[in-house]
Amino acid sequence: MSASTPTDLATDMPALQAQSLSPSLTVAIAGNPNAGKTSLFNALTGLRQKIGNYPGVTVETKSGVWYLDDRSPVTVVDLPGLYSLNATSIDEQIACDTLVQQGDLPNAPDVIILAIDATNLSRNLYLATQVIELGPPTVIALTMFDLALRDGLEINVPQLSKELGVPVVPVVARRQTGIHALGLAVRNVARADVPRKTIDTSMIRKDQLLNRYQRIDSLLSRVLTRKKSESLCRTERIDAVLTHRILGPLILLAVILFVFQMIFSWANLPMNLIDGAFSWLSHLVRATLPPGVFTDLLADGVIAGVGGVLVFLPQILLLFLFIALLEESGYMARAAFLMDRLMRSVGLDGKAFLPLVMSFACAVPAIMATRTIQTTKDRITTIMIAPFMSCSARLPVYTLMIATCFANQKTLGFISTGALIILAMYLLGIATAVVVAWLLKHSILKAASTPFVMELPIYRIPSVSNVFHTMISRAGLFLKRASTVILAASIVLWALAAFPRTTGTSATEQVSNSYAGRAGRLMEPIIKPLGFDWQIGIGLISSFAARETIVSTLGVVYNVGDAEQSGSLVKAMTNAKRSDGTPMWTPLVGLSLMVFFVLACQCMSTLAVVRRETNSWRWPLFMVSYMLVLAYVGSLVTFQGGRLLGFS
Amino acid sequence: MNKTNHSTLSALPHGRWATVLNVLGPGFIALRLMEMGLVPGASISVVRTAPLGDPLQIKVRDYQLALRRTEAEMINVSLDSD
């Protein structure tokens, strides 16, 4: 325990004075993955958190402000988890660099808080003893102390502190227990000015490693009395069901179905409300303001753009509620365990499975969910293939194509052709993702093979506050970072369809004379080999905002008032003729367009989120270009191949 | 200790305890495994395998981890007598 005395509290200064006199402390929380770092970070900083990126890399920084008992602020940085100072990934390297050369960095921490899982001391102490030997001012936070007590672990804390030579403070982050003592300990060690050693982490040798574990084992024989671990027993009993050969995959399937149900139907209600509210607002603007460019910009550009951002919020909140529950409870690692073999066949590991499955609902939250993948190259590969999973925004497009080009057709007399084609589109997306993942993992995202050693943490009841934090911080991040890009893009796309102005004409004429219409005509020679005409070209341009936008654009192009009442649009499309009098929307054209929609990344929200998650424009630009090339080739092969085979 | 009791972790019967003898293989993988606590002398046990036969669920040093077969084959163990 820290040698705190009541006089520490007596030096209580008014907060202002403390801030102005002493430069505020910076504290970094380090520790093994699953050691309770984030719970501790949340307990210290509450909602005063900021999430950012380390310069130039995809690794996330989390920092916040912790007010000590005397109101003096301390900057707290939550470092990525690491098992030793011998880093194997960029995340670990960043944590490691902060710990090893803290003196030289501009934001170097003054004090290190090591989060050490009290229920798993020996492995956690491996990193702890390495850090302590470096010599920075260090305090050990013995996390999950309540669990350790319940498990019948008796830890002689003063003895542990004495032998390690640093203060050891038992904490239960969920109940804010031990935070006060932790604050005192941090302030005490911050005062001491100790010389720091440097170690060459590239030269950790086997004999040093074995020697370290021997010392830890002998230390633990003096400070730890153990009975049989109750939580581990309970975890084993739960695992007997959840990772069972047959039951395990079935339960995972049920969990996935539940999430889909949640995203498709529960999220639908608030999404429709948001949608409705914004179109009401847009109508209101039109009704109150005089007609003109400004009104159009406000109604169709700005309000539609803001609505287009906010409409994702219910899905993001629900999905992160679910992800936080899975991570906090310990089930996420089990899902990765069950699916690892399957994911390995494309060069990824089990952790990529859930984000990819979620991508069938929407790639935006799914890409945000790839944060659980620790290896950066695997994470980027997963992000790059996520948009191939047919998301919910493609469904209206598929439905329109089926209704127009394959109405009431049956295969083998009883199977709906439309259903078969939609299934084929899902499978096409999956197959493309598999191939692209394999190619990426064997070329630009080739990584040195790191061993797959994934901890299976004990099962715990999720903490409400941690789940709440995850949901709020992810939703906040999405709004802050993605909204500007989405809003700007929707205004640009609105302008393309609204200028130049042709007054006194119908909406159809306005669109066909606009820049978008001209671009559609310009594009026609390029997209003609795919079976598309300039009207589809306009639809393709507008669908970059969001895939389903093509439906309303086609509604405007074909001059059928409300495209959402799709009956009239289907009729107009069925009657549409090419210049030579043949029907425009043949089954082959429909198929070609659907293939294009499977493969192209027509979603500015996805690109905005990729930009935010990879911290550069390089990856979103790569994504949109390679997917566009794939879509073009895919459509070309479909249409021309189909024609060669005698279809129309 | 009887020599016939030696095997790799990958071949260890489920539910039985064994003692790690050594970890052989590419330096950095062996190093990482040992840093996770799989050092000679540590008690270790295979709980079960995943539905597709890989990876393995391992118990070591008061915690559980998932390990692929390729890595489990690098770990030589000696079966404890019950």
Gyration radius (Cα) of chain A, Å: 29
- Give the pLDDT score at A21: 40
- Counted residue by residue, chain B has a size of 82
* A244 has pLDDT over 60: yes
Q: Give B3→chain A minimum CA distance, Å.
A: 24
- Residues of A within 8 A of B57 (CB-CB) are 239, 243, 337, 456
Name which of A126, A210, A454 is nearest B66 (Cβ-Cβ). Answer: A454
Q: Which parts of chain B sit beneath pLDDT 50?
A: 1-2
Q: Which of A221, A344, A453, A459 to mutate to test the interface with B (most CBs of B within 10 A)?
A: A453
Spell out which chain B residues touch chain A, with contact meaning CB-CB distance below 8 angstroms. Answer: 28-37, 39-40, 42, 47-48, 50-55, 57, 61-68, 71
Cβ contacts of A89 within 8 Å, gap of 6 or more: A374, A375, A376, A450
Mean pLDDT within A496-512? 75
Lowest mean pLDDT among A4-8, A88-92, A184-188, A557-561: A4-8
For the entire predicted model, the pTM comes to 0.80
Closest CA in chain A for residue B64: A456
Residue A85: both structure tokens together: 């100072």
Burial of A437 (0-12, 13-18, 19+ CB in 10 A): buried
pLDDT tens digits for range A25-36: 889 999 998 898
- Residues of B within 8 A of A232 (CB-CB) are 62-64
Q: Give A285→chain B minimum CA distance, Å.
A: 58
Contact A564, A503 (CB under 8 A): no
Q: Identify the CATH number of the domain defined by range B3-79.
A: 2.30.30.90
- Residues of A within 8 A of B29 (CB-CB) are 449-451
Residue A107: both structure tokens together: 């934001």
Q: How far apart are CA A609 and CA A417, in angstroms?
A: 35
Residues 555-594 of A with CB under 8 A from B: none
Q: Which of B24, B35, B44 to mutate to test the interface with A (most CBs of A within 10 A)?
A: B35
Q: Which domains does chain A have, with CATH numbers?
A: 7-227 (3.40.50.300)
- Residue type for position A499: F
CA geometry: angle A144, A146, A148, nearest 5 deg: 75
- Give the pLDDT score at A374: 72
Record: contact B33-A451, CB cut-off 8 A? yes
3-state secondary structure of A94: helix
| Phi, psi dihedrals of residue A90, rounded to the nearest 5° | -60, -40
- Give the pLDDT score at A6: 38
Lowest mean pLDDT among A123-127, A259-263, A438-442, A532-536: A259-263
* A300 has pLDDT over 90: no
Residues 438-467 of A with CB under 8 A from B: 449-458
Q: What percent of chain A has pLDDT over 90?
A: 28
Q: Which of B17, B63, B73 to mutate to test the interface with A (most CBs of A within 10 A)?
A: B63
pLDDT tens digits for range A382-424: 999 999 998 877 877 888 888 888 877 777 777 778 888 888 9
- Give the pLDDT score at A385: 94
Record: contact B35-A126, CB cut-off 8 A? yes
How would you classify residue A380: left for phi > 0, otherwise alpha for psi between -120 and 50, otherwise beta?
alpha
Cβ contacts of A23 within 8 Å, gap of 6 or more: none
Q: Give B27→chain A minimum CA distance, Å.
A: 9
SS3 string of A507-561?
HHHHHHHCHHHHHHHHHHHHHHHHCCCHHHHHHHHHCCCCCCHHHHHHHHHCCCC
Q: How far apart are CA A156 and CA A220, in angstroms?
A: 10
Mean pLDDT within A620-626? 95
**DSSP category for residue A583:** B
Q: Which of B29, B61, B74 to mutate to test the interface with A (most CBs of A within 10 A)?
A: B61
Q: At what angle do helices A37-45 and A464-477 cross, to 10 degrees?
A: 80
Q: Give A93→chain B minimum CA distance, Å.
A: 14
- What is the number of alpha carbons within 13 Å of residue A177 lying toward its C-beta? 10
Question: Which residue in this structure is represented by tokens 């319940």?
Answer: A150
Closest CA in chain A for residue B34: A209
Name which of B31, B51, B67 is nearest A209 (Cβ-Cβ). Answer: B31
Closest CA in chain B for residue A87: B32
How would you classify residue A59: left for phi > 0, otherwise alpha for psi between -120 and 50, otherwise beta?
beta
Mean pLDDT within A250-264? 82
Q: Give A351→chain B minimum CA distance, Å.
A: 12
* Whole-number average pLDDT of chain A: 83
Q: Give B62→chain A minimum CA distance, Å.
A: 6
Record: contact B66-A452, CB cut-off 8 A? yes
Record: contact A232-B64, CB cut-off 8 A? yes
Residue A589: both structure tokens together: 């054209």
Q: Give A361→chain B minimum CA distance, Å.
A: 26
Domain segments of chain B as ranges = 3-79
Name which of A83, A121, A236 is nearest B36 (Cβ-Cβ). Answer: A83
pLDDT tens digits for range A169-197: 999 988 888 999 999 999 888 876 666 66
Name which of B34, B53, B61 is nearest A209 (Cβ-Cβ). Answer: B34
A86 CB near a chain B CB, below 8 Å? yes
Q: Give B4→chain A minimum CA distance, Å.
A: 26
Query: How many CB pairs lie under 8 A apart between chains A and B?
Result: 118
Name which of A84, A120, A337 is nearest B50 (Cβ-Cβ). Answer: A337
Q: Give B38→chain A minimum CA distance, Å.
A: 10
